[in-house]
Amino acid sequence: MRNNRQRSSNLSFAARAAQAPRIATIESLDQEGRGVTHVDGKVIFVEGALPFEEVKFVSHHVKATYELATTVEVIKPSSQRVTPGCVYFGTCGGCAMQHLEFSAQVAAKQRMLEADLWHIGRVRPEKMLPPIQGTPWHYRHKARLRVRYVEKKGGVLVGFNEKGTSYVTHMDSCEVLTQPVSDLIVPLKALIGQLSIKQSVPQIELAVGEDATVLVFRIMEALTDADVALLQTFEYTYGAQVWTQTKGPDTVKPLFSHGDKLHYSLPEYNLQYPFSPIEFTQVNPAINRVMIRRAMQLLQPQAGERIADFFCGLGNFTLPIARSGASVYGVEGAQALVKRAVENAQLNQVSQVEFAESDLFDMTTESLQALGAFDKWLVDPPRDGAMALMKALPDAEDTVATHAPTRIVYVSCNPATLARDAAILTQYKGYRLTAAGVMNMFPHTAHVESIALFEKI
């Protein structure tokens, strides 16, 4: 018992010591945009610190092997430190890197990608592609905003969560949402404050198309006639469509009838994509266009080829590939997106495509073979990656396999799972990582989107 009390006392002393301000030089950034340093052999993640800075920090979360800390003073600032463009940065959890100069953010993401590819996948690209980047502000066309009625804070809050908490940030604008949507935050707070169900509106999901903006109000109670009148006045005044969701995704519907529908376009391929406000589309349409162009350059689709588009969604890549004259087989796990993809192909009069619903996380060698042979693959998985799909490929020594593509273009939103899948491809399946590079789809956040090309050896 005495030894247990002694260990507890020592731990408490260590925790108290860690909470006192300390000084360290930051070595790098981690995958969440925090500074990384080491003190007495322990790794410490320091919020608000940049590489090569000397900072004073205080730890708020102490574990045996690591600590989480917050910068309280920058003693020697980095030459790449800038004044954040948003007054809520540091409190709001929507952004993590506004204090880092924009081009340096992109360079940091490139280093994160390279580090994961090597440390997790033990592979290095033969060529690093130039980063894809665009405007740093007002780029975000989709988001989910939290809503909370807090009487002590003056009423309704609408915005992203505060950093590291479940509280909603007290904010009146957002520098990464499109400007018209940012301008709606204050009117939205006033609107919800007048509703009879103001305590039963937990979130608003927003989607911005080329001709319409939709706000999906998640409502936990029925609207009164007075509520409907208020929402109708809001829609008429600000031009944003009001939709509601009472339960699951199938309950999402417009509250009023509208002429304009949500859609985005790819003019380079003469394509239009209608979509529902809760269907997955890229949040940054400008980067999406450049990303598709790069994917096409890497994939090099040719007329007469049979190409698979795995995790095809609503056909974002499928239809441009088909414009090349190739025959494209799109596979997606969500039935609603498969239906939308078929509709989009019909709308755009793209005939050489076929879509199928399948759980790609349960892919086996046998189920992959049943799809037939493909000349090339485009793979665009969610954050979990595509490990089952990669494992289903024939091993490198299988010289008689006919369904191994000569080229795989892999679009990733998680460098760690890309690296894991790259290890499978390069170490077991007979591919080489020809090229890779980042796409700054989410400026000022630590999200690392990337694209990689694998070629059969």
Which tens digit of pLDDT belongs to each residue from 313-351? 999 999 999 999 999 999 999 999 999 999 999 999 999
Residue among 140, 438, 138 at smallest CA distance from 283:
140
- Using CA atoms, how far apart are residues 37 and 28, in angstroms rounded to an integer? 7
Neighbouring-strand partners of residue 43: 38, 66
One DSSP character per residue, 88-105 reads: TBTTBTT-S-TTB-HHHH
Is 312 annotated to bind a ligand? Reply is: no
Is 174 annotated to bind a ligand? Reply is: yes
Residues of the chain with CATH 2.40.50.140: 2-81
Is 421 annotated to bind a ligand? Reply is: no
Is there a catalytic annotation at residue 413?
Answer: yes
Neighbouring-strand partners of residue 127: 435
- Each residue of 148-192: pLDDT tens digit? 999 887 799 999 999 989 999 999 999 999 999 999 999 999 999
Q: To the nearest whole number, what is the mean pLDDT of the chain?
A: 94
pLDDT in the model for residue 153: 74
Residues of the chain with CATH 2.40.50.1070: 142-254
Long-range pairs for 79-88: beta carbons < 8 A, 24 or more residues apart: 80/50, 80/104, 81/50, 81/53, 85/136, 85/137, 85/175, 85/444, 86/173, 86/174, 86/175, 86/176, 88/159, 88/169, 88/171, 88/174
User: Model pTM?
Assistant: 0.93
- Residue 1: pLDDT band with limits 50, 70, 90: very low
Is 6 annotated to bind a ligand? Reply is: no
CB 377 within 8 A of CB 363: no
In one letter, which amino acid is 154? G
- Each residue of 91-120: pLDDT tens digit? 999 999 999 999 999 999 999 999 999 999
pLDDT in the model for residue 147: 98
CATH class of the domain defined by 106-135+284-456: alpha beta
Above 80 in pLDDT, residue 9?
no
CATH class of the domain defined by 2-81: mainly beta
- Using CA atoms, how far apart are residues 454 and 47, in angstroms rounded to an integer? 36
CATH class of the domain defined by 142-254: mainly beta
Is 161 annotated to bind a ligand? Reply is: no
- Burial of 149-159, coded b for 16+ CB within 10 Å and e otherwise, reads beeeeeebbbb
Is 348 annotated to bind a ligand? Reply is: no
Residue tagged active-site, from 44, 206, 413, 424: 413
Helix, strand, or coil here: 166? coil
- Residue 8: pLDDT band with limits 50, 70, 90: very low
Is 332 annotated to bind a ligand? Reply is: yes
- Using CA atoms, how far apart are residues 307 and 40, in angstroms rounded to an integer? 53
- What is the rounded average pLDDT of the residues 260-265? 95
Is 45 annotated to bind a ligand? Reply is: no
